[in-house]
Amino acid sequence: MGSPYQPELIATARDMNEVQKLIDVGVDAITIGHQNYGLRVTGDFSIEEIKAATTYCHQHGVKVYILTNAIFHNDILETIPTYLKELESVKVDGIICGDPSIFMIVSSYDIHIPIIWNPETLATNYETLNYWHQKGISRAILSNELAIDAIKEINEQVSFPVDIQVHGMTCIFQSKRKLVENYYRHIDKSYDRQQVMHITQGKEEDTHYPIFEDVNGTHIMSDADLCMIDHLPLLLDAKIHGLRINGILKSTDYHVEITQLYKEAIDTYLEDPTQFELKKAGFKQRIYNIQPEDRKLGTGFYFKEQIY
């Protein structure tokens, strides 16, 4: 008889303080990284900081996954083997990748780290994922553009764990160009890359898309935060292995409280589905109580086609 199903609750972390607070509220795994190698990291971790975070996490039975999912250009190929070797020595639990060059790199340099496949919008069917599994991936993060039925079918047709996002911002556009920096130069104002801009959609003045920049270019984020706490039974009944919370552009207090809420909701449902139904409205209300006024909550593509 197999062990009882228990999903991994995975959250991003911006610094060591957030790592510690997320562990305190029961997270099962942490996602961290550095913008030189990862897309949309919530905070830059040096190798020494990754080592400290990994040691601390492992002492508390929590896994560490490193974002190395940037779009690699030739210059990255000169430095990433050393970076991966260092991650291997730190004994991180996996690297999140989306560039096929990673397979040549780990093979050529005899690097042994579990690969979590995250090609963003391309992880949409089980045959593609099974192909990459033959190439060496041990896990995959599914595209945010999938409906629940498609996610269930993929999960049934692959022999390895798959993850989906359940809360937070999602990226809807990325460009290598520094669009925000170029704009500020054009209007002759000072620019700070940590600054977050917003754009408005056409006639809908209440619809705003956060924009930020890093070394990977410009990222335009969704106008609503994904929120699947109401619908956890669908995901848990389907035995999705990993449930991810993205804390990018959110305060530590908000991110930690959201993670704690999802942990409580997951445990409640797995212990007693009837209790979850009784508490479901309360879980959602607690999210509304801390949700920023300018950020709507939604379910993304999970139940219908979504046009941004």
How far, in Å, CA of 144 to CA of 165, rounded? 7
User: Is 90 part of a structural domain of the chain?
Assistant: yes
User: Are 18 and 164 in the same domain?
Assistant: yes
| CA dihedral sign of residues 222, 224, 225, 228 | negative
- Whether 63 is in a domain gets the answer yes
Is 211 inside a domain boundary? Answer: yes
Quick one: 86 and 152 in the same domain? yes
On whether both 82 and 215 belong to a single domain, the answer is no
Give the model's pLDDT for residue 205: 52
**Contact criterion met (CB below 8 Å) for 308 and 223:** yes
Residue 217 lies in a domain: yes
pTM: 0.86
State the sign of the Cα–Cα–Cα–Cα dihedral 8, 12, 15, 17.
negative
Residues 93 and 118 reside in one and the same domain: yes
Q: Do residue 46 and residue 120 come from a single domain?
A: yes
Which one of 205, 221, 237 terminates a domain? Answer: 221
29 with 100, same domain?
Answer: yes
Same domain, 94 and 186: no
Q: For position 285, which CATH number holds?
A: 3.20.20.70
Which residues span the domain enclosing 71? Answer: 8-168+225-298
How many domains are contained in the chain? 2
Instruction: Answer yes or no: do 91 and 194 share one domain.
Output: no
From 185, 206, 221, the end of a domain falls on 221
Residues 217 and 77 in one domain: no
Q: Is 304 part of any domain?
A: no
Q: What is the pLDDT along the chain (308 residues), one digit of tens a residue?
A: 445 889 999 999 999 999 999 999 999 999 999 999 998 888 999 999 999 999 999 999 999 999 999 888 898 899 999 999 999 999 999 999 999 999 999 999 999 999 999 987 788 899 999 999 999 999 999 998 899 999 999 999 999 999 999 999 877 766 665 545 554 554 555 545 454 544 444 445 555 677 777 776 776 767 788 999 999 999 999 999 999 999 988 999 999 999 999 999 999 999 999 999 999 999 999 999 999 888 899 998 899 754 44
Q: Is residue 131 part of a domain?
A: yes
Residues 38/98, Cβ–Cβ less than 8 Å: no
Local structure of residue 295 (DSSP, 8 states): -
Q: Is residue 274 part of a domain?
A: yes
Shared domain check, 92 and 20: yes
Residues 102 and 183 placed together within one structural domain of the fold: no
